[in-house]
């Protein structure tokens, strides 16, 4: 499905329409714009709005000996530009579990870019990192994100009823997940 090209610091993962590459701090203004876009942040799981300094802090390389976050920039191959980011957070190396997240610029929604990027991250997670389980948490009104989770093979695991309060109403948080052995059966 993909080709992992090792760089001294970080892998480049080639897909058909998108590539995953290291986060580029030269694009921090673009990342800040996306993280503050009302369409993108409505169901985000981070505090908003984000200043450029907060976004820099989020994406700058960490100095911990064991990294528990991996961020990729999603590069649109045809248009030759970044269109979002995807990655793993809360990586637990002992249990080999992690959470996946993805954010795609609205102009690139509905074109399978998020699905392809998610599949590439899963492949990297299970083949290269030897993780056991990948989980995604989304809010019930975020139908696009739920579709991506299902298209990359995640299945609904748990509903946390009325977990968050957004736009004057309590909404459910849904957790989807996939185990390495189940992912391998889909390949």
81-92 β-sheet, strand order: 3-6, 11-14, 18-22, 70-76, 81-92, 97-104, 133-139, 169-179, 155-166
User: So what's the pLDDT on residue 10?
Assistant: 53
pTM over 0.85: yes
In a domain? residue 57 = yes
Does the residue 149 lie in any domain? Answer: no
Residue pLDDT, tens place only, 60-81: 776 665 688 899 999 999 999 9
Residue 107: per-residue pLDDT: 94
Query: How many CB atoms within 10 Å of residue 44?
Result: 17
Residue 9: predicted pLDDT? 41
Q: Is residue 164 part of a domain?
A: no
Q: Which of 53-62, 67-76, 178-187 has the lowest mean pLDDT?
A: 53-62
The CATH number for 77's domain is 3.40.630.30
CB 162 within 8 A of CB 172: yes
Q: Which domain holds residue 79?
A: 3-131
pLDDT band, residue 5 (cuts 50/70/90): very low
In a domain, 58, yes or no: yes
Is 50 within the bounds of a domain?
A: yes
Domain count, the chain: 1
Domain assignment present for residue 90? The answer is: yes
Asked if residue 180 is part of any domain, the answer here is no
| Residue 101 falls inside a structural domain | yes
């Amino acid at each position: 499905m993909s080709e992992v090209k090792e760089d001294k610091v970080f892998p480049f993962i080639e897909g058909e329409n998108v590539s995953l590459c290291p986060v580029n701090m030269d694009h921090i203004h673009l990342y800040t714009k996306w993280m503050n876009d009302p369409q993108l942040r409505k169901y985000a799981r981070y505090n908003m709005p984000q200043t450029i300094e907060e976004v820099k802090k989020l994406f700058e390389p960490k100095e911990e000996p064991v990294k528990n976050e991996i961020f990729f920039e999603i590069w649109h191959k045809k248009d030759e530009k970044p269109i979002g980011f995807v990655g793993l957070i809360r990586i637990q190396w002992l249990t080999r579990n992690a959470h996946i997240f993805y954010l795609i610029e609205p102009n690139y929604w509905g074109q399978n870019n998020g699905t392809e990027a998610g599949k590439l991250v899963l492949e990297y997670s299970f083949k290269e990192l030897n993780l056991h389980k990948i989980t995604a948490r989304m809010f019930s009104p975020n139908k696009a994100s739920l579709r991506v989770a299902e298209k990359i093979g995640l299945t609904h695991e748990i509903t946390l009823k009325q977990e968050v309060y957004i736009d004057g109403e309590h909404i459910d948080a849904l957790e989807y997940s996939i185990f390495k052995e189940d992912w391998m059966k889909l390949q």
